Structure 1
């Protein structure tokens, strides 16, 4: 299996045109198990980073104006490490001044970021509707009803898609990071999950389940937002970033059951962090997301396992997964080697693994 995969991956190293405006477009393969570059139809394996904040924990919209050269440097570093894709997390409060009023200045900066991605020949996974810093969430947004909030989210995505539709440097639109349909009723304005490291990565798409099946709510929400995007962009791929507890199993669930919410999605994105001694459990979970569309492990990291175990997990996950994203926050391996902190040691172990795996996968779009 591994030999066959390496043969497959080597074909992704094909020389493509070097001009950014001639980057191949990414599409789903005919067998719906992976991705290809168009028009060549050569295989494309997303191998990249979540660039979700800098070393100080700041989100990209908080520093891309005054520290644009830093963003440029980080994109160059990610490219040299072997990435062909970068996941960017866009915050709704920075892009919307009102329920139906996009912020044109922020959209202009996004347009510049897309140009940078094209220059570096990196494909962007644009994950939207972020509310990671609770203090930055507009009060008007939290006061909206479910219907009005969904409509505001649709306006957000139409503004983004309107700027991105013509760029081949976009890999996909990710509707939201880790959305959840609650069971029962939440208090008014309580749209965010518990923070992790000071950031709210989980978000609820309704505050009141009423008598509706949770997967039905999730499916309707996905349909509402994909319809809004398709009004502006009929080509780029659409996904949503699912927590690993989305499967229809006993215990905690998100309501986003893969088999029931993917009709309007082009591929599945799942966030999996394998644990020491429980690699098979993580692989079994991954298999549960195999519902006839490509799967991308959109977040993974040696958070609860060793880099060696993560290496084993990635190798074994190829049976179902067609792409992988880890993390990069702006410190190069050389900088990390000079550090003596545990977090930097974890990141160094991950980046060394990333570079090794990148050489096997092949950087799909060359200069």
Structure 2
């Protein structure tokens, strides 16, 4: 059956119309300043920069596993916001090398909303690009953390540096997921650092509302890339996961974040940890993306991080038995509780403890891999 001439002509043009509205990924043409109509689409990260093939880490039941199905436990450090490090002249591959020398296999990048806006997304992404290249060269993985504190459901925040919005948070994760799709070096997206209502000073929140917002963010991320682990925190500064058992996040491949500083519970430990969130590790992967302690007389000591030192052995042993991943706060001499006291990487009390613990764990895992290697 022959189509009318006009109909046939229109059908012939359809591929042209369709392609005209598809985002281009070719190299952008030069544009003059102010030509907003000629601004190119953002390009994905160029994987050709990477020199090492790293395994994709994913969720399987309550475990993290690599491509071969082998269990992965992340142990590492929080560095400072890359924007801060650039301004202090400390943003370099050497900083990542120092983190690895402490036994890290992962580094957490805390991206503050104020830094993201002030530097601009295009320039900030260049910093994350550098982190990906350096981490890949060193066989480290990365956590990208949207580092805000407050109640995003009501858009009330603990301090101006954490002020963001639902829309900015959506857009942040849309850009991150689109740029780094298929890049295993970035293993984890921590959707929101520390949700809190701060004893009602930041409004109220309902778990179902918080759950729905995180599910929305995960859907945006998965539309671009399903090869990452979304990490969801509970309220009370990423400590309260009490609703997860009955109302888990309704998305596949999710892990849960905890920040179990020593004064978050009156103890006794580890019984208090087991009751609050530890039992969930039987069903879901848990990642303690902030842990740490300091003595009351040390610089910057504050609640909830003060301990006499007993916290370190207790929580590291508990995590080892449960297979819980962690990153210690903070591999920076300015942000307490500090792991290093200066830019010569002199370890503090907790820095010395966690360095010895992580190096010992890394050595044991290396021996295990050597034994089972075909």
Normalising by structure 2, report the TM-score.
0.66
Q: Assess if the C-alpha contact under 8 Å between 1:337 and 1:348 holds in 2.
A: no
Q: Contact (CA 8 Å) 1:259, 1:291: kept in 2 or not?
A: no
Instruction: Return the index of the structure with the highest Cα Rg.
Output: 2
Give the alignment partner of residue 261 of structure 2, picking from 267, 273, 285: 273
The answer as to whether partners of 1:87 and 1:126 remain within 8 angstroms in 2 is yes
The structure-2 alpha-carbon separation of the partners of 1:246 and 1:75, relative to structure 1 and needing over 3 Å to count, comes to: same
> Hey, what's the Cα distance between the residues in 2 that align with 1:336 and 1:244?
29
Match of residue 10 from structure 1:
none
Choose from 257, 262, 268 the match for 2:249: 262
> SS at 1:246's partner residue?
coil
Q: Does the 8 Å CA contact 2:188/2:229 hold for their aligned counterparts?
A: yes
1:216 pairs, out of 203, 208, 215, with 208
Q: Give unpaired runs (5+ residues) of structure 2.
A: 1-49, 150-156, 295-305, 334-338
Q: Aligned match of 2:109 in 88, 109, 126?
A: 88
Give yes or no for contact 1:21–1:167 (8 Å, CA) kept in 2.
no
Of the candidates 69, 80, 84, which is equivalent to residue 41 of structure 1?
69
> How many Å apart are 1:64 and its aligned residue?
2.4
Report Cα offsets for 1:189-219 as digits up to 9, x if no partner.
x6xxxxxxxxxxxxxxxx565xxxx111111
8 Å CA contact 1:268–1:293 kept in 2: the answer is yes
- What secondary structure, in the 3-state scheme, does the structure 2 residue paired with 1:289 have? helix
Note the aligned Cα RMSD (angstroms).
3.6
Q: Who is 1:156 aligned against?
A: 172
Counting only pairs closer than 5 Å after superposition, residues 123-202 of structure 1 correspond to structure 2 as 123-130=141-148, 134-136=159-161, 141=164, 149-180=165-196
Residue 324 of structure 1: CA displacement? 1.9
Higher-strand-fraction structure: 1
Aligned length: 292
The answer to whether the Cα contact below 8 Å between 1:92 and 1:156 also exists between their aligned partners in 2 is: no
Q: 1:238 aligned to 2:230?
A: yes
Structure 2 match to 1:300? 291
Q: Say whether 1:22 aligns with 2:53.
A: yes
Higher relative contact order (CA 8 A, sep 6+): 1
Unaligned stretches of 5+ residues in structure 1: 1-18, 54-58, 142-148, 191-206, 249-255
Q: 1:358 to 1:306 in 2, by over 3 A?
A: farther
